[in-house]
Amino acid sequence: MAGSLSTNGARAWCALLCGVLLAGCTTLGEHKDIYTLSKEAEIAFDNQEDAKAEQLYKGLVKQAPNDAENWFRLGNLYARTNHPDQAVETYQHALMLDGNNPKIWHNLGVVRLRQAWASLMQAEILAPPDSDLYNRTHDMVKALGNLPALGGAPDDSELKSARPVKK
């Protein structure tokens, strides 16, 4: 009887050990999937396959929610596709994870400048042309339009220059 208990105990330990080893293999497989997803998302972003890139980056931030780089790249996608509120929210999440990253701060600033510029252009349209408000707003719109990050119609060049350096 004592022998059967130790045999059952050994079987239980063996089953537990096998379970732990298999769980470790699954974890390694997930890392490979994250790496593959990251590469696919980067390629989709570079090829301007925005819907595909968005789905891949959303999957990445779900699987690795503490990776600031994925949040940053998702923010770049939102900025490029003219979703500034989503870009701001995503960049802020990235900054909670990596508040010392100047690229994230830079892109957040560019998006907020674009939002301010759009608001001021709307105010300029609505203000009476002979008012002090119109003159002040017109001057701000003109000044913001001269900034390199805004310079006329917004484009991707500023965002592309702020993308992470390839390792």
- Per residue in 46-56, pLDDT (tens digit) is 999 999 999 99
* Distance between CA atoms of residues 60 and 41, nearest Å: 9
Domains in the chain with CATH codes: 2-161 (1.25.40.10)
- Which residues lie closer than 8 Å to 108 by C-beta, 6 or more apart? 75, 87, 88, 91, 92, 95
Residues in contact with 42: Cβ distance below 8 Å, sequence separation at least 6, in sequence order: 73
Summarize pLDDT for 85-117 with one digit per residue, the tens: 999 999 999 999 999 999 999 999 999 999 999
- Work out the angle at residue 156's Cα, subtended by the Cα atoms of residues 153 and 44, and round it to the nearest 5 degrees: 140
Q: Kind and range of the H or E element at 132? A: helix 132-145
